[in-house]
Amino acid sequence: MPIQAKIGPSILNADLANLAAESQKLLDNGADYLHLDVMDGAFVPNLTFGHPMVKCLRNHIKEAFFETHMMVQNPEQWIAPMADAGVNLYTFHVEPVKDVCNVTRKIQEAGMKVGLAIKPGTEVKEIEKYIDVADLVLVMTVEPGFGGQSFMADMMPKVEWLRNNYPNLDIEVDGGVGPKTIDCCAKAGANWIVSGTAVVGSADQRQVISELRNVVKSYLK
């Protein structure tokens, strides 16, 4: 199956007190999936939310595709709770993990898809040996931990290398991505687009989501 353009708003920028309604609005406006940023205050200096909130969100939103971006020191610890919460894609950072293959196996055994994430300072070659067991690779285009940062265009060679070597891989970018930066992401080969502020804070979410998707589609072969 050819790779597809997918737009996943990051709900970190949404009104967390009204998360179910805000998330449903994003889906109604054309979002393909929801990107849920989980931070533990250790791997990154910020703290967000965990599996209880994800489970509550799933109780309100039955059908949508949930990706959890696990910015945590010990991703293995949260596999079972997130699977129970109804997560579809469990994306974790490889940097703090000693046995990546063990974590990917446990994610698969729990019934979730596997995403591998790398920070800006991590070379893409460091995950090359694990790509065969991954459903998606996330290239961070900001330092993980906070929303609203400026996009790092110098991460695009990582995306290009992945696309050239793995033409059928789902490649995700996250951080500072919006209408002004989507073209270079799509041109480099990203097909899963996480966008926070640009989508969630827009007066016309549907228009922005559609614009992002159309740019990605224009570069897909």
Q: Tell me the catalytic residues.
A: 37, 174
Alpha-carbon gap, residue 60 to 205, rounded angstroms:
21
Q: Is 93 annotated as a binding residue?
A: no
Sign of the dihedral defined by the CA atoms of residues 50, 71, 87, 220, in that order: positive
Q: Is 84 annotated as a binding residue?
A: no
Alpha helices in 91-134 (DSSP H): 100-109
Residues in Cβ contact with 213 at an 8 Å cutoff, skipping those fewer than 6 apart: 5, 6, 7, 30, 32, 193
Q: Is 43 annotated as a binding residue?
A: no
- At residue 10, φ and ψ (nearest 5 deg) are -85, 120
Q: Is 66 annotated as a binding residue?
A: no
Q: Is 35 annotated as a binding residue?
A: yes
Label residue 5 left, alpha or beta by phi (over 0 means left) and psi (-120 to 50 means alpha): beta
Q: Is 37 annotated as a binding residue?
A: yes
Q: Is 201 annotated as a binding residue?
A: no
Q: Is 15 annotated as a binding residue?
A: no
Helix axes 19-28, 205-219, angle to 10 degrees: 50
Q: Is 170 annotated as a binding residue?
A: no
Q: Is 69 annotated as a binding residue?
A: yes
What number of other Cβ atoms are within 10 A of residue 109's Cβ? Answer: 11
In eight-state DSSP terms, residue 1 is: -
Alpha-carbon gap, residue 45 to 216, rounded angstroms:
32
- At residue 34, φ and ψ (nearest 5 deg) are -110, 135
Q: Is 146 annotated as a binding residue?
A: yes
Q: Is 30 annotated as a binding residue?
A: no
Retrieve residue 157's tokens: 């060679």
Can you tell me whether residue 145 is helix, strand or coil? coil
Per the annotation, binding residues for a divalent metal cation are 35, 37, 69, 174
Per the annotation, binding residues are 10, 35, 37, 69, 145-148, 174, 176, 196-197
Per the annotation, binding residues for substrate are 10, 69, 145-148, 176, 196-197
